[in-house]
């Protein structure tokens, strides 16, 4: 399927800390980059807006183990780990969505505590195409919130990777998205 008017591409948290060598690396997380770059090129050709979310945590974020959270410190605002993967080719007019900035509130979804829904509506977006990291956390939460917000949601499965804290978490997340009304897409057709 090709992107068209009324669509948006949403790239979720393709940041250094979620890629190999990062503080909270997703296995093969960097493998999503070339796939997403093809989708970005298609979005630019089609005139479709591109949004990119990022964790932008304060140093004392509630999700960190030091504060009783489940994760090591990661994606601390302004650090190399919080930067987008260097090979990800975001367009000049990308709209950046910073999330999980409140030290006392965690948010996996790109919609949580952000103005993403409003931005999408102002851009007259009806369908959101989602890829990024991690499939079983931020991609899952973002896709489910997008569905709740009334958008048609397509998750680009070859542009996501799962943490799989428990084996099969990624597959369970995709099943949950599908059961909520999301569409799972494997590849960009030309």
What residue ranges do the domains of the chain occupy? Answer: 7-57+83-99+108-185
Q: Just list the catalytic residues.
A: 13, 99, 138
**Angstrom distance (rounded) from CA 82 to CA 152:** 29
pLDDT at residue number 1: 57
pLDDT at residue number 190: 45
Per residue of the chain (190 residues), give pLDDT as tens.
Answer: 589 999 999 999 999 999 999 999 999 999 999 999 999 999 999 999 999 999 999 999 999 999 999 999 999 999 999 999 999 999 999 999 999 999 999 999 999 999 999 999 999 999 999 999 999 999 999 999 999 999 999 999 999 999 999 999 999 999 999 999 999 997 665 4
Q: Are 57 and 77 in contact (CB under 8 A)?
A: yes
Topology of domain 7-57+83-99+108-185, per CATH? Rossmann fold (3.40.50)
Phi, psi for 127 (deg, rounded to 5)? -125, 130
């Amino acid at each position: 399927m090709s992107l068209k008017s009324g669509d948006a591409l949403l790239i979720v948290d393709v940041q250094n800390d979620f890629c190999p060598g990062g503080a909270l690396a997703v296995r093969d997380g960097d493998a999503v980059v070339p796939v997403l770059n093809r989708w970005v090129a298609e979005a630019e050709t089609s005139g479709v807006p591109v949004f990119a979310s990022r964790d932008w945590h304060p140093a004392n974020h509630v999700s960190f183990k030091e504060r009783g959270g489940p994760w090591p410190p990661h994606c601390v605002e302004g650090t190399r780990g919080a930067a987008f993967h260097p090979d990800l080719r975001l367009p000049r007019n990308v709209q950046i969505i910073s999330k999980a900035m409140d030290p006392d509130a965690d948010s996996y979804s790109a919609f949580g505590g952000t103005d993403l829904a409003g931005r999408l509506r102002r851009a007259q977006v009806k369908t959101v195409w989602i890829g990024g990291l991690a499939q079983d956390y931020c991609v899952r939460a973002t896709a489910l919130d997008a569905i709740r917000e009334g958008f048609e949601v397509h998750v680009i499965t070859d542009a996501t990777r799962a943490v799989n804290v428990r084996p099969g978490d990624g597959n369970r997340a995709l099943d949950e998205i599908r059961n909520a009304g999301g569409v799972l897409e494997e590849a960009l057709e030309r």
